[in-house]
Structure 1
Amino acid sequence: MDHKGVALVTGAARGIGRAIALRLAEDGFDVTLNDLESSEEHLKTLAQEITQKGRRASVIYGDVSQETDVRSMVDSAVHKLGSLNVMVANAGISSQVTPIQDVKVEEWDRILGVNIRGVFFCYKYAAQQMIKQGRGGRIIGASSITGKQGEGQAAPYSASKFAVRGLTQSAAKDLGVHKITVNAYAPGATSTPMLDSVVENMDGGAAFREAWIKATPVGYIGMPSDIASIVSYIASKEAHFITGQTISVNGGMYFD
Protein backbone atom coordinates (compact mmCIF):
# COMPACT_ATOMS: atom_id res chain seq x y z
CA MET A 1 0.00 0.00 0.00
CA ASP A 2 1.28 3.46 -0.89
CA HIS A 3 2.35 5.68 1.98
CA LYS A 4 -0.23 8.46 2.31
CA GLY A 5 1.57 10.56 4.93
CA VAL A 6 1.36 11.02 8.69
CA ALA A 7 -1.75 11.41 10.79
CA LEU A 8 -2.04 12.49 14.43
CA VAL A 9 -5.10 11.27 16.32
CA THR A 10 -5.89 12.63 19.79
CA GLY A 11 -7.96 10.62 22.25
CA ALA A 12 -6.85 7.50 20.38
CA ALA A 13 -6.87 4.96 23.19
CA ARG A 14 -10.51 3.89 22.98
CA GLY A 15 -13.76 4.17 21.08
CA ILE A 16 -13.97 6.42 18.05
CA GLY A 17 -10.36 7.62 18.28
CA ARG A 18 -9.06 4.07 18.26
CA ALA A 19 -11.21 3.17 15.25
CA ILE A 20 -10.03 6.28 13.37
CA ALA A 21 -6.37 5.48 14.02
CA LEU A 22 -6.79 1.91 12.75
CA ARG A 23 -8.72 3.03 9.67
CA LEU A 24 -6.14 5.66 8.74
CA ALA A 25 -3.39 3.05 9.11
CA GLU A 26 -5.35 0.76 6.78
CA ASP A 27 -5.60 3.69 4.37
CA GLY A 28 -1.80 3.99 4.28
CA PHE A 29 -0.99 6.60 6.93
CA ASP A 30 1.63 6.32 9.62
CA VAL A 31 -0.04 7.38 12.85
CA THR A 32 0.96 9.27 15.97
CA LEU A 33 -1.33 8.24 18.81
CA ASN A 34 -2.19 10.57 21.68
CA ASP A 35 -4.08 10.14 24.92
CA LEU A 36 -3.50 10.63 28.62
CA GLU A 37 -0.69 8.67 30.27
CA SER A 38 -3.31 6.66 32.18
CA SER A 39 -4.12 5.03 28.81
CA GLU A 40 -0.57 3.79 28.27
CA GLU A 41 -1.43 0.10 27.87
CA HIS A 42 -4.28 0.82 25.45
CA LEU A 43 -2.03 3.01 23.30
CA LYS A 44 0.81 0.50 23.26
CA THR A 45 -1.56 -2.25 22.15
CA LEU A 46 -2.98 0.00 19.43
CA ALA A 47 0.51 0.92 18.22
CA GLN A 48 1.31 -2.79 17.87
CA GLU A 49 -1.85 -3.36 15.83
CA ILE A 50 -0.87 -0.53 13.50
CA THR A 51 2.65 -1.86 12.97
CA GLN A 52 1.16 -5.27 12.19
CA LYS A 53 -0.70 -3.55 9.37
CA GLY A 54 2.64 -2.49 7.92
CA ARG A 55 2.54 1.13 9.02
CA ARG A 56 4.61 3.03 11.55
CA ALA A 57 3.15 4.22 14.83
CA SER A 58 4.36 6.48 17.61
CA VAL A 59 2.84 7.29 20.98
CA ILE A 60 2.85 10.59 22.84
CA TYR A 61 0.98 11.26 26.05
CA GLY A 62 -0.57 14.62 26.75
CA ASP A 63 -3.62 16.65 27.71
CA VAL A 64 -5.15 18.48 24.74
CA SER A 65 -6.40 21.26 27.02
CA GLN A 66 -2.75 22.23 27.67
CA GLU A 67 -1.17 24.27 24.89
CA THR A 68 2.37 23.05 25.52
CA ASP A 69 1.20 19.44 25.34
CA VAL A 70 -0.44 19.94 21.95
CA ARG A 71 2.60 21.74 20.58
CA SER A 72 4.71 18.79 21.73
CA MET A 73 2.34 16.31 20.05
CA VAL A 74 2.78 17.99 16.69
CA ASP A 75 6.54 18.29 17.12
CA SER A 76 6.73 14.61 18.10
CA ALA A 77 4.77 13.47 15.05
CA VAL A 78 7.10 15.40 12.77
CA HIS A 79 10.27 14.32 14.58
CA LYS A 80 9.40 10.61 14.75
CA LEU A 81 7.44 10.09 11.54
CA GLY A 82 8.63 12.91 9.30
CA SER A 83 5.68 15.24 8.72
CA LEU A 84 2.06 16.01 9.62
CA ASN A 85 -0.53 15.60 6.89
CA VAL A 86 -3.72 14.84 8.82
CA MET A 87 -4.73 16.11 12.25
CA VAL A 88 -7.74 14.46 13.89
CA ALA A 89 -8.71 16.42 17.01
CA ASN A 90 -10.83 13.62 18.41
CA ALA A 91 -10.22 13.87 22.16
CA GLY A 92 -13.32 14.77 24.11
CA ILE A 93 -15.12 14.17 27.39
CA SER A 94 -18.78 13.99 28.31
CA SER A 95 -20.55 16.17 30.84
CA GLN A 96 -22.60 15.08 33.81
CA VAL A 97 -26.32 14.74 33.14
CA THR A 98 -27.41 18.01 34.77
CA PRO A 99 -29.99 20.70 33.98
CA ILE A 100 -28.47 24.10 33.22
CA GLN A 101 -29.57 25.64 36.51
CA ASP A 102 -27.48 23.10 38.41
CA VAL A 103 -24.32 23.12 36.26
CA LYS A 104 -21.26 24.11 38.27
CA VAL A 105 -18.76 26.47 36.68
CA GLU A 106 -16.00 23.93 37.35
CA GLU A 107 -17.89 21.39 35.23
CA TRP A 108 -18.40 23.98 32.49
CA ASP A 109 -14.70 24.82 32.42
CA ARG A 110 -13.68 21.14 32.47
CA ILE A 111 -15.82 20.21 29.46
CA LEU A 112 -14.99 23.25 27.35
CA GLY A 113 -11.32 22.95 28.29
CA VAL A 114 -11.03 19.63 26.51
CA ASN A 115 -13.79 19.75 23.90
CA ILE A 116 -13.16 23.18 22.37
CA ARG A 117 -9.97 24.63 23.85
CA GLY A 118 -8.27 21.33 23.00
CA VAL A 119 -9.63 21.35 19.45
CA PHE A 120 -8.49 24.96 19.01
CA PHE A 121 -4.93 24.05 20.02
CA CYS A 122 -4.94 21.08 17.65
CA TYR A 123 -6.17 23.21 14.76
CA LYS A 124 -3.68 25.99 15.52
CA TYR A 125 -0.52 23.90 15.75
CA ALA A 126 -1.47 21.54 12.94
CA ALA A 127 -2.10 24.58 10.72
CA GLN A 128 1.29 26.08 11.57
CA GLN A 129 3.07 22.84 10.70
CA MET A 130 1.13 22.23 7.50
CA ILE A 131 1.72 25.79 6.30
CA LYS A 132 5.43 25.36 7.00
CA GLN A 133 5.49 22.13 4.97
CA GLY A 134 3.73 23.85 2.05
CA ARG A 135 1.89 20.73 0.85
CA GLY A 136 -1.61 21.35 2.21
CA GLY A 137 -3.29 18.98 4.61
CA ARG A 138 -6.42 17.84 6.36
CA ILE A 139 -7.58 19.10 9.76
CA ILE A 140 -10.55 17.28 11.27
CA GLY A 141 -12.39 17.87 14.54
CA ALA A 142 -14.95 16.09 16.69
CA SER A 143 -18.37 17.70 16.96
CA SER A 144 -21.55 15.77 17.84
CA ILE A 145 -25.22 15.37 17.08
CA THR A 146 -25.66 17.59 20.17
CA GLY A 147 -23.63 20.24 18.36
CA LYS A 148 -26.43 20.49 15.79
CA GLN A 149 -29.43 20.18 18.09
CA GLY A 150 -28.94 21.08 21.73
CA GLU A 151 -29.61 18.31 24.22
CA GLY A 152 -31.32 18.86 27.55
CA GLN A 153 -29.25 18.27 30.69
CA ALA A 154 -26.06 18.53 28.64
CA ALA A 155 -25.45 22.27 28.29
CA PRO A 156 -21.64 22.24 28.60
CA TYR A 157 -21.27 19.34 26.18
CA SER A 158 -23.70 20.73 23.60
CA ALA A 159 -22.13 24.19 23.81
CA SER A 160 -18.65 22.77 23.28
CA LYS A 161 -19.73 20.77 20.24
CA PHE A 162 -21.57 23.72 18.67
CA ALA A 163 -18.35 25.69 19.16
CA VAL A 164 -16.37 23.09 17.22
CA ARG A 165 -18.62 23.74 14.23
CA GLY A 166 -17.97 27.49 14.33
CA LEU A 167 -14.24 27.01 14.81
CA THR A 168 -14.18 24.59 11.88
CA GLN A 169 -15.91 27.03 9.55
CA SER A 170 -13.65 29.91 10.55
CA ALA A 171 -10.47 27.86 10.23
CA ALA A 172 -11.57 26.57 6.82
CA LYS A 173 -11.78 30.14 5.54
CA ASP A 174 -8.36 30.99 6.99
CA LEU A 175 -6.57 27.91 5.68
CA GLY A 176 -8.09 27.20 2.27
CA VAL A 177 -5.47 29.39 0.60
CA HIS A 178 -2.84 26.97 1.95
CA LYS A 179 -4.66 23.94 0.46
CA ILE A 180 -5.64 22.84 3.96
CA THR A 181 -9.22 21.66 4.40
CA VAL A 182 -10.91 21.80 7.80
CA ASN A 183 -13.94 19.66 8.54
CA ALA A 184 -15.62 17.95 11.49
CA TYR A 185 -17.69 14.86 12.11
CA ALA A 186 -20.85 14.83 14.22
CA PRO A 187 -21.61 11.35 15.58
CA GLY A 188 -24.96 10.34 16.95
CA ALA A 189 -25.30 7.64 19.58
CA THR A 190 -22.28 5.39 19.08
CA SER A 191 -21.33 2.26 20.98
CA THR A 192 -18.29 3.48 22.92
CA PRO A 193 -17.03 3.38 26.51
CA MET A 194 -18.06 7.07 26.81
CA LEU A 195 -21.66 6.30 25.88
CA ASP A 196 -21.71 3.32 28.23
CA SER A 197 -20.49 5.54 31.06
CA VAL A 198 -23.18 8.15 30.41
CA VAL A 199 -25.92 5.51 30.35
CA GLU A 200 -24.68 3.82 33.50
CA ASN A 201 -24.61 7.09 35.44
CA MET A 202 -28.07 8.35 34.56
CA ASP A 203 -31.45 7.36 35.95
CA GLY A 204 -33.30 5.23 33.43
CA GLY A 205 -30.19 4.89 31.28
CA ALA A 206 -31.34 1.68 29.62
CA ALA A 207 -34.60 3.35 28.60
CA PHE A 208 -32.64 6.25 27.09
CA ARG A 209 -30.58 3.81 25.03
CA GLU A 210 -33.75 2.20 23.70
CA ALA A 211 -35.18 5.64 22.91
CA TRP A 212 -32.05 6.48 20.91
CA ILE A 213 -32.43 3.30 18.90
CA LYS A 214 -36.11 3.99 18.21
CA ALA A 215 -35.29 7.56 17.13
CA THR A 216 -32.80 6.28 14.56
CA PRO A 217 -34.39 5.36 11.21
CA VAL A 218 -31.79 2.68 10.48
CA GLY A 219 -32.78 1.02 13.76
CA TYR A 220 -29.44 0.66 15.53
CA ILE A 221 -26.72 2.57 17.33
CA GLY A 222 -23.55 3.22 15.34
CA MET A 223 -20.16 1.62 15.85
CA PRO A 224 -16.84 3.49 16.04
CA SER A 225 -15.91 2.10 12.63
CA ASP A 226 -18.92 3.91 11.14
CA ILE A 227 -17.47 7.23 12.28
CA ALA A 228 -13.98 6.25 11.14
CA SER A 229 -15.30 5.68 7.62
CA ILE A 230 -16.29 9.33 7.14
CA VAL A 231 -13.00 10.50 8.65
CA SER A 232 -11.22 8.25 6.17
CA TYR A 233 -12.93 10.02 3.30
CA ILE A 234 -12.47 13.61 4.45
CA ALA A 235 -8.79 12.81 5.13
CA SER A 236 -8.34 11.61 1.55
CA LYS A 237 -7.09 13.45 -1.52
CA GLU A 238 -10.53 13.03 -3.09
CA ALA A 239 -12.04 15.31 -0.43
CA HIS A 240 -10.04 18.37 -1.53
CA PHE A 241 -13.21 20.30 -2.45
CA ILE A 242 -14.97 19.76 0.90
CA THR A 243 -14.14 22.20 3.67
CA GLY A 244 -15.87 24.00 6.53
CA GLN A 245 -18.37 21.16 6.91
CA THR A 246 -19.58 19.25 9.96
CA ILE A 247 -20.82 15.93 8.64
CA SER A 248 -23.50 14.07 10.56
CA VAL A 249 -22.98 10.35 11.12
CA ASN A 250 -26.04 9.48 13.15
CA GLY A 251 -28.19 6.94 11.33
CA GLY A 252 -30.71 9.67 10.56
CA MET A 253 -31.49 10.43 14.21
CA TYR A 254 -31.66 14.11 13.24
CA PHE A 255 -31.64 15.50 9.72
CA ASP A 256 -29.78 18.72 8.94
Structure 2
Amino acid sequence: MSSKGIALVTGAGKNTFPILTLSLISPPAQGIGRGVALRLAEDGFEVAVNDVAANSANLDSLVAEIKQKGRESSKHIADVSQDEQVKVMVEEVVKQHGSLDVMVANAGILGPEGPLTEISAEQYDRVMSVNARGPFFCYKYAGIQMIKQGRGGRMIGASSLAGKRGIGPLTAYSMSKFAVRGLTQAAAQEFAPHGITVNAYAPGGIDTPMMIGNRDRTERMEEAKQMSPLKLVGVPADIASLVSFLASAESRFITGQTMSIDGGAFFD
Protein backbone atom coordinates (compact mmCIF):
# COMPACT_ATOMS: atom_id res chain seq x y z
CA MET A 1 0.00 0.00 0.00
CA SER A 2 1.21 3.48 -0.81
CA SER A 3 1.93 5.81 2.09
CA LYS A 4 0.64 9.35 2.61
CA GLY A 5 3.94 10.23 4.26
CA ILE A 6 5.76 9.93 7.56
CA ALA A 7 4.28 11.12 10.86
CA LEU A 8 6.03 11.36 14.23
CA VAL A 9 3.87 11.37 17.38
CA THR A 10 5.52 12.22 20.69
CA GLY A 11 4.21 11.04 24.05
CA ALA A 12 2.54 8.05 22.40
CA GLY A 13 3.39 5.45 25.04
CA LYS A 14 0.64 6.10 27.59
CA ASN A 15 -1.13 2.81 28.17
CA THR A 16 -4.77 1.92 28.48
CA PHE A 17 -6.41 1.63 31.89
CA PRO A 18 -5.73 -1.87 33.25
CA ILE A 19 -9.19 -2.08 34.88
CA LEU A 20 -12.24 0.11 34.26
CA THR A 21 -14.46 0.33 37.32
CA LEU A 22 -16.85 2.69 35.53
CA SER A 23 -17.27 2.02 31.84
CA LEU A 24 -18.59 5.24 30.32
CA ILE A 25 -17.11 4.72 26.88
CA SER A 26 -16.20 1.99 24.49
CA PRO A 27 -13.45 0.99 23.85
CA PRO A 28 -11.51 1.60 27.09
CA ALA A 29 -9.62 4.89 27.37
CA GLN A 30 -6.07 5.25 26.17
CA GLY A 31 -3.57 8.06 25.93
CA ILE A 32 -4.19 10.77 23.34
CA GLY A 33 -0.84 10.13 21.64
CA ARG A 34 -1.57 6.46 21.24
CA GLY A 35 -4.98 7.21 19.76
CA VAL A 36 -3.49 9.77 17.36
CA ALA A 37 -0.78 7.37 16.19
CA LEU A 38 -3.29 4.62 15.42
CA ARG A 39 -5.59 7.02 13.58
CA LEU A 40 -2.78 8.37 11.42
CA ALA A 41 -1.83 4.80 10.55
CA GLU A 42 -5.44 4.15 9.52
CA ASP A 43 -5.24 7.31 7.40
CA GLY A 44 -2.31 5.87 5.48
CA PHE A 45 0.75 7.33 7.18
CA GLU A 46 3.83 5.48 8.31
CA VAL A 47 4.03 6.39 11.99
CA ALA A 48 7.08 6.81 14.21
CA VAL A 49 6.22 6.93 17.91
CA ASN A 50 8.07 8.45 20.84
CA ASP A 51 8.06 8.45 24.61
CA VAL A 52 10.45 8.24 27.53
CA ALA A 53 12.22 5.01 28.46
CA ALA A 54 9.69 4.18 31.19
CA ASN A 55 7.05 3.71 28.49
CA SER A 56 9.24 1.65 26.15
CA ALA A 57 7.15 -1.53 26.47
CA ASN A 58 3.97 0.39 25.65
CA LEU A 59 5.63 1.77 22.53
CA ASP A 60 6.58 -1.76 21.47
CA SER A 61 2.93 -2.84 21.61
CA LEU A 62 1.86 0.30 19.74
CA VAL A 63 4.40 -0.31 16.97
CA ALA A 64 3.03 -3.84 16.64
CA GLU A 65 -0.55 -2.52 16.38
CA ILE A 66 0.44 -0.04 13.68
CA LYS A 67 2.20 -2.75 11.69
CA GLN A 68 -0.92 -4.93 11.97
CA LYS A 69 -2.71 -2.13 10.11
CA GLY A 70 -0.25 -2.58 7.24
CA ARG A 71 1.85 0.51 7.98
CA GLU A 72 5.51 0.85 8.84
CA SER A 73 6.33 2.06 12.34
CA SER A 74 9.32 2.63 14.59
CA LYS A 75 10.00 3.36 18.27
CA HIS A 76 12.08 6.34 19.40
CA ILE A 77 13.03 6.88 23.03
CA ALA A 78 13.70 10.54 23.83
CA ASP A 79 12.93 13.22 26.41
CA VAL A 80 11.35 16.00 24.35
CA SER A 81 12.52 18.63 26.83
CA GLN A 82 16.13 17.94 25.79
CA ASP A 83 17.31 19.74 22.66
CA GLU A 84 19.89 17.17 21.53
CA GLN A 85 17.56 14.22 22.12
CA VAL A 86 14.86 15.75 19.92
CA LYS A 87 17.43 16.53 17.23
CA VAL A 88 18.66 12.93 17.22
CA MET A 89 15.10 11.58 17.29
CA VAL A 90 14.13 13.47 14.15
CA GLU A 91 17.34 12.37 12.44
CA GLU A 92 16.61 8.74 13.33
CA VAL A 93 13.06 8.98 11.99
CA VAL A 94 14.32 10.39 8.69
CA LYS A 95 17.09 7.78 8.48
CA GLN A 96 14.61 4.95 9.02
CA HIS A 97 11.62 6.22 7.04
CA GLY A 98 13.18 8.61 4.54
CA SER A 99 11.42 11.85 5.47
CA LEU A 100 9.19 13.64 7.98
CA ASP A 101 5.87 15.06 6.84
CA VAL A 102 3.79 15.41 10.02
CA MET A 103 5.06 16.29 13.50
CA VAL A 104 2.57 15.82 16.34
CA ALA A 105 4.13 17.36 19.46
CA ASN A 106 1.76 15.64 21.86
CA ALA A 107 3.97 14.80 24.86
CA GLY A 108 2.98 16.55 28.07
CA ILE A 109 2.51 16.22 31.81
CA LEU A 110 -0.27 17.55 34.04
CA GLY A 111 1.02 18.73 37.42
CA PRO A 112 1.68 20.41 39.70
CA GLU A 113 -1.78 20.93 41.19
CA GLY A 114 -2.16 23.29 44.12
CA PRO A 115 -1.87 26.93 45.18
CA LEU A 116 0.60 29.06 43.23
CA THR A 117 2.19 30.04 46.55
CA GLU A 118 3.12 26.43 47.21
CA ILE A 119 4.54 25.44 43.82
CA SER A 120 8.30 24.92 43.95
CA ALA A 121 10.75 26.15 41.36
CA GLU A 122 11.54 22.54 40.52
CA GLN A 123 7.87 21.71 39.90
CA TYR A 124 7.43 24.80 37.75
CA ASP A 125 10.57 24.06 35.72
CA ARG A 126 9.51 20.47 35.11
CA VAL A 127 6.07 21.23 33.70
CA MET A 128 7.33 24.12 31.58
CA SER A 129 10.23 22.00 30.34
CA VAL A 130 8.06 19.19 29.01
CA ASN A 131 4.97 21.15 27.94
CA ALA A 132 6.59 24.28 26.44
CA ARG A 133 10.23 23.42 25.66
CA GLY A 134 9.14 20.09 24.21
CA PRO A 135 6.91 21.52 21.46
CA PHE A 136 9.51 24.25 20.80
CA PHE A 137 12.22 21.67 20.05
CA CYS A 138 9.80 19.48 18.09
CA TYR A 139 8.74 22.39 15.89
CA LYS A 140 12.37 23.48 15.54
CA TYR A 141 13.79 20.20 14.27
CA ALA A 142 10.72 19.24 12.28
CA GLY A 143 10.94 22.67 10.63
CA ILE A 144 14.59 22.19 9.72
CA GLN A 145 13.79 18.84 8.10
CA MET A 146 10.61 19.94 6.33
CA ILE A 147 12.29 23.03 4.88
CA LYS A 148 15.14 20.82 3.64
CA GLN A 149 12.64 18.49 1.96
CA GLY A 150 10.99 21.43 0.21
CA ARG A 151 7.47 20.02 -0.05
CA GLY A 152 5.70 21.55 2.93
CA GLY A 153 4.44 19.70 5.97
CA ARG A 154 2.20 19.73 9.00
CA MET A 155 3.09 20.58 12.61
CA ILE A 156 0.51 19.99 15.32
CA GLY A 157 0.98 20.79 19.01
CA ALA A 158 -0.85 20.02 22.24
CA SER A 159 -2.41 22.93 24.08
CA SER A 160 -5.39 22.55 26.44
CA LEU A 161 -8.58 24.11 27.75
CA ALA A 162 -6.17 25.39 30.41
CA GLY A 163 -4.34 27.17 27.59
CA LYS A 164 -7.50 29.07 26.69
CA ARG A 165 -8.76 29.78 30.20
CA GLY A 166 -6.36 29.76 33.13
CA ILE A 167 -7.18 27.20 35.81
CA GLY A 168 -6.27 28.33 39.33
CA PRO A 169 -5.08 25.04 40.86
CA LEU A 170 -2.99 24.38 37.72
CA THR A 171 -1.09 27.65 37.40
CA ALA A 172 2.14 26.33 35.89
CA TYR A 173 0.28 23.90 33.65
CA SER A 174 -1.93 26.71 32.37
CA MET A 175 1.16 28.82 31.65
CA SER A 176 2.74 25.99 29.70
CA LYS A 177 -0.33 25.44 27.55
CA PHE A 178 -0.80 29.17 26.85
CA ALA A 179 2.85 29.06 25.70
CA VAL A 180 1.99 26.42 23.10
CA ARG A 181 -0.57 28.79 21.59
CA GLY A 182 1.98 31.59 21.24
CA LEU A 183 4.57 29.21 19.84
CA THR A 184 2.07 27.88 17.31
CA GLN A 185 1.10 31.35 16.10
CA ALA A 186 4.71 32.51 15.74
CA ALA A 187 5.88 29.29 14.07
CA ALA A 188 2.95 29.42 11.65
CA GLN A 189 4.18 32.78 10.38
CA GLU A 190 7.79 31.66 10.14
CA PHE A 191 7.11 28.41 8.31
CA ALA A 192 4.27 29.57 6.04
CA PRO A 193 6.58 30.56 3.14
CA HIS A 194 7.71 26.93 3.05
CA GLY A 195 4.20 25.52 2.76
CA ILE A 196 4.22 24.24 6.34
CA THR A 197 1.11 24.72 8.45
CA VAL A 198 1.29 24.87 12.25
CA ASN A 199 -1.76 24.31 14.43
CA ALA A 200 -2.62 22.97 17.87
CA TYR A 201 -5.47 21.23 19.64
CA ALA A 202 -6.89 22.32 23.00
CA PRO A 203 -8.70 19.42 24.69
CA GLY A 204 -11.06 19.76 27.61
CA GLY A 205 -11.92 16.76 29.74
CA ILE A 206 -10.67 13.67 27.90
CA ASP A 207 -10.97 10.19 29.40
CA THR A 208 -7.29 9.30 29.73
CA PRO A 209 -5.03 8.04 32.51
CA MET A 210 -3.50 11.53 32.78
CA MET A 211 -6.85 13.19 33.43
CA ILE A 212 -7.83 10.67 36.10
CA GLY A 213 -4.43 10.73 37.84
CA ASN A 214 -4.72 9.52 41.43
CA ARG A 215 -8.33 10.69 41.75
CA ASP A 216 -11.43 8.53 42.13
CA ARG A 217 -12.40 7.70 38.56
CA THR A 218 -16.16 8.07 39.05
CA GLU A 219 -15.76 11.46 40.73
CA ARG A 220 -13.29 12.77 38.15
CA MET A 221 -15.44 11.70 35.22
CA GLU A 222 -18.48 13.43 36.70
CA GLU A 223 -16.48 16.65 37.16
CA ALA A 224 -15.38 16.50 33.54
CA LYS A 225 -18.97 15.95 32.34
CA GLN A 226 -20.17 19.01 34.23
CA MET A 227 -17.65 21.22 32.37
CA SER A 228 -19.40 20.54 29.08
CA PRO A 229 -22.81 21.90 28.06
CA LEU A 230 -23.18 18.58 26.25
CA LYS A 231 -22.55 16.78 29.55
CA LEU A 232 -20.07 14.54 27.77
CA VAL A 233 -16.49 13.48 28.40
CA GLY A 234 -14.22 13.35 25.37
CA VAL A 235 -12.24 10.31 24.32
CA PRO A 236 -8.85 10.11 22.57
CA ALA A 237 -10.60 9.29 19.29
CA ASP A 238 -12.14 12.78 19.36
CA ILE A 239 -8.69 14.37 19.44
CA ALA A 240 -7.36 11.88 16.89
CA SER A 241 -10.13 12.87 14.45
CA LEU A 242 -9.11 16.52 14.67
CA VAL A 243 -5.42 15.69 14.24
CA SER A 244 -6.34 13.52 11.26
CA PHE A 245 -7.92 16.54 9.59
CA LEU A 246 -5.07 18.90 10.49
CA ALA A 247 -2.57 16.41 9.04
CA SER A 248 -4.51 16.11 5.80
CA ALA A 249 -4.41 18.04 2.54
CA GLU A 250 -7.89 19.35 3.33
CA SER A 251 -6.46 21.60 6.09
CA ARG A 252 -4.24 23.53 3.66
CA PHE A 253 -5.90 26.90 4.41
CA ILE A 254 -5.67 26.61 8.21
CA THR A 255 -2.59 27.68 10.15
CA GLY A 256 -1.71 29.39 13.43
CA GLN A 257 -4.87 28.10 15.10
CA THR A 258 -5.39 26.40 18.44
CA MET A 259 -8.64 24.53 18.12
CA SER A 260 -10.84 23.93 21.14
CA ILE A 261 -12.14 20.38 21.39
CA ASP A 262 -13.79 20.39 24.78
CA GLY A 263 -17.54 19.77 24.41
CA GLY A 264 -18.25 23.50 24.67
CA ALA A 265 -16.42 24.09 27.95
CA PHE A 266 -14.83 27.20 26.38
CA PHE A 267 -16.23 29.30 23.53
CA ASP A 268 -13.55 31.08 21.46
Return closer, same or farther for 1:227/1:198 CA change in 2, 3 Å cut-off: farther
Counterpart position of 1:249: 261
1:185 paired with 2:201, answer yes
1:103 paired with 2:119, answer yes
Identity %: 55
1:46 paired with 2:62, answer yes
Counterpart position of 1:4: 4
Q: Distance in 2 between matches of 1:221 and 1:183?
A: 23
Counterpart position of 1:240: 252
Task: Map 1:73-222; keep pairs closer than 5 Å.
Answer: 73-197=89-213, 199-200=215-216, 207=219, 209-222=221-234
Q: Which residue identity is paired with 1:233?
A: F
- Once the 2 structures are TM-superposed, how far is the Cα of residue 109 of structure 1 from its aligned partner? 0.1
1:36-95: CA deviation from partner (whole Å, max 9, x where unpaired): 111111100000000010100000101000011100111011000110000000000011
Please say if residues 207 and 221 of structure 2, whose CA atoms lie closer than 8 Å, have aligned partners that are also in contact. Answer: no
- Once the 2 structures are TM-superposed, how far is the Cα of residue 199 of structure 1 from its aligned partner? 2.9
- Once the 2 structures are TM-superposed, how far is the Cα of residue 127 of structure 1 from its aligned partner? 0.2
Q: Distance in 2 between matches of 1:98 and 1:194?
A: 16
Q: Which residue identity is paired with 1:231?
A: V
Counterpart position of 1:227: 239
Q: SS where residue 154 of structure 1 aligns?
A: helix
- Once the 2 structures are TM-superposed, how far is the Cα of residue 211 of structure 1 from its aligned partner? 2.9
Please say if residues 140 and 182 of structure 1, whose CA atoms lie closer than 8 Å, have aligned partners that are also in contact. Answer: yes
Aligned CA-pair RMSD: 1.2
Q: Distance in 2 between matches of 1:58 and 1:207?
A: 37
Q: SS where residue 199 of structure 1 aligns?
A: coil
Please say if residues 204 and 263 of structure 2, whose CA atoms lie closer than 8 Å, have aligned partners that are also in contact. Answer: yes
- Which runs of no fewer than 5 residues in structure 2 stay unpaired? 15-30
Q: Distance in 2 between matches of 1:210 and 1:3?
A: 41
Q: Distance in 2 between matches of 1:254 and 1:56?
A: 38
Q: Which residue identity is paired with 2:244?
A: S
Q: How many residues align?
A: 252
- Which runs of no fewer than 5 residues in structure 1 stay unpaired? none
Counterpart position of 2:45: 29
- Once the 2 structures are TM-superposed, how far is the Cα of residue 207 of structure 1 from its aligned partner? 4.3
Q: Distance in 2 between matches of 1:254 and 1:244?
A: 19
Q: Distance in 2 between matches of 1:125 and 1:233?
A: 23
**TM-score, with length taken from structure 2:** 0.92
